[in-house]
Structure 1
Amino acid sequence: MITSRNLKWNVVLHYTWKSMLYYLLLSLAVYLMHDYFEVLELHMPFSTISALSTALAIFLGFKNNNAYDRWWEGRKIWGLLVNYSRAWAREVITMIILPDATQAAEVKNLQRRMVYRHIAFVHALRVFLRKKHSYNQTNQKEIFEESNEYKDTASFLMPNEYKVFCHKNNPPNYLLELQGEDLRRAFNKGWISDFRFVKLEETLVEFNNIQGMSERIKNTPFPRQYSFFSRVFVFIHASLLPFAFVEELGWATIPVSVIISFVFLCLDLVGERAEDPFENRLEDVPLTALSLTIETNLKEQWGSKDFPSPRQASHGAVL
């Protein structure tokens, strides 16, 4: 998630330089052919491009509004995960009761295992959501990405659990299954009552819901027709601009056309890069930072001081 109020121009140009080069060369070619080679047929009425600009602005506005809705929904879902994670740690610590002093160590071990396994679940969900899908593969090299490996969960799981975890098709869901099994064992041993068992199970269901809502956004792409046609329309608009300005502006056609084309290009890119909020990019929901927040909160609730280092902004963004 971009946190800096001002974007660095090297970041902007990293994603726009190819299109900007095309806009510049096209405007230069139109100007030279009109003024030096006197190809008068190159001129077109300004009213034509004006109508196209209005339609394109409306189209891009609609696309960007819906893309932002997807991004904001992703952020709200992970906000719920933060809240329920804190509730889970509190419930595990306070609702699993020590039946007698002889079982105190066993109960404490169970509580710690369930709290730390949930930290592993959060990190695993982050990695699971950031896995690439065929529809969002791109040849554009990202300027900055966070490491995205399941090994981040190793320190929170028992060795035998981690070994099985790494071979699961849906690792986060496997961890929720382990949590449910531990709850059942605690219930059978009399460490939690019927009511408390139900309450803890309801919290686990909420984690299933949060994962499902996140997967819905991840696995359902923004309608491809909007993304495709917005790129096509921006390209057509930028290609026609110099022809509308060259008769009246002369050499000024070059900077004016490039600047206007740049504005529409940025509007298109803003929506394109907001529509998929779990792709491990600068603009995405900061899953790593939120995961570390949850890890810190749960460790503090458990009484541990081994907090992870807070995530520092890089290139004006926190991932």
Structure 2
Amino acid sequence: MLINSYDRWWVVLKIWESIVNESRSFVLQLQSFISADINKIASHNNKPLALPKLNALQIAGLKEKENLDIFSQVQINNTMVNFSNAMGMAERIKTTIFPVTYRLFLHFFIYIFVVTLSIAIRDIESYFEIPLLLAISSAFFLLEKSATHLQAPFSNRPTDTAITTIATTIEINIKQLSGETDVPKPLQPETFYSL
């Protein structure tokens, strides 16, 4: 369970890394392929969402006027597809849950292991046996708990993917690439964990 949960958590990080990179590429493409009117999106709160809308409108207009060559259009469309794919993967992970039976079976096997271990070490003095059983069983239950937290990376817990921090990084990158001056500061860790 821990390996599956960690893999799920790691995939989310890779997806958001892709979104960050595609956001940067998207702005650079818009700036190099067409004269994007960035002022049109200044009033939008979600500028990464406003950029595809602006892009779609401009591509349609440029295509009609034949001001956009086919290679630039294909590249921009590929970036848009990559955005869509990454968002779809993130949505799939958010909406797919681990079956409850997975956790129940894991608990069952931990209990069997602890009981079997206690029978196997019955010749050890009880003042060693009990702390040893507690330490070993606690380690397994802590691993199971960690896996449970990692399997839901969008639950707003310290172990989750730092979506707000990643989105702020995207905003900072887009504003800096666009030459804007009101660039937000990167988010800092709030407590014992790093964002």
Contact 1:93/1:111 (8 A) holds in 2 = no
Aligned to 2:30: 92
CA gap of 1:196–1:178, structure 2 versus 1, over 3 A, is: same
Q: Is the radius of gyration larger for structure 1 or structure 2?
A: 1
CA gap of 1:112–1:222, structure 2 versus 1, over 3 A, is: farther
Contact 2:23/2:48 (8 A) holds in 1 = no
Aligned to 1:265: 141
Aligned to 2:96: 220
Supply the AA of the counterpart residue of 1:220. T
TM-score, scaled relative to structure 1: 0.52
Distance 2:75 2:44 in 1: 18
Q: Choose which of 6, 12, 15 in structure 2 pairs with 1:77.
A: 15
Contact 1:222/1:275 (8 A) holds in 2 = yes
Aligned to 1:287: 163
Contact 1:88/1:200 (8 A) holds in 2 = yes
Distance 2:23 2:45 in 1: 8
Sequence identity percentage: 31
Distance 2:154 2:59 in 1: 31
Please give the root-mean-square deviation of Cα atoms over the aligned residues, in Å.
3.1
Aligned to 1:37: none
Aligned to 1:26: none
Aligned to 1:202: 78
Distance 1:71 1:275 in 2: 6
1:193 aligns with 2:193: no
Contact 1:176/1:204 (8 A) holds in 2 = yes
Distance 1:185 1:311 in 2: 38
Distance 1:256 1:181 in 2: 67
Unaligned runs of 5+ in 1: 1-62, 98-106, 123-156, 158-174
Contact 1:115/1:298 (8 A) holds in 2 = no
Distance 1:244 1:178 in 2: 69
Residues 47-78 of structure 1: CA deviation (Å, up to 9, x unaligned): xxxxxxxxxxxxxxxx2222222111111111
Contact 1:273/1:283 (8 A) holds in 2 = yes
Distance 1:284 1:261 in 2: 25
Shift of 1:243: 6.9
Aligned to 2:194: 318
Contact 1:96/1:192 (8 A) holds in 2 = yes
Shift of 1:254: 4.0
Aligned to 1:296: 172
CA gap of 1:93–1:284, structure 2 versus 1, over 3 A, is: same
Number of aligned positions between the proteins: 195
Supply the AA of the counterpart residue of 2:11. E
1:37-48 map, 5 Å: none
1:276 aligns with 2:146: no
CA gap of 1:191–1:317, structure 2 versus 1, over 3 A, is: farther
TM-score, scaled relative to structure 2: 0.80
Distance 1:74 1:232 in 2: 29
1:87-126 map, 5 Å: 87-97=25-35, 110-113=37-40, 119-121=46-48
1:137-176 map, 5 Å: 176=52
Residues 264-287 of structure 1: CA deviation (Å, up to 9, x unaligned): 111112222222222222112221
Supply the AA of the counterpart residue of 1:111. I
Aligned to 1:171: none
SS at match of 1:79: helix
Aligned to 2:132: 256
Contact 1:186/1:192 (8 A) holds in 2 = yes
1:306 aligns with 2:165: no
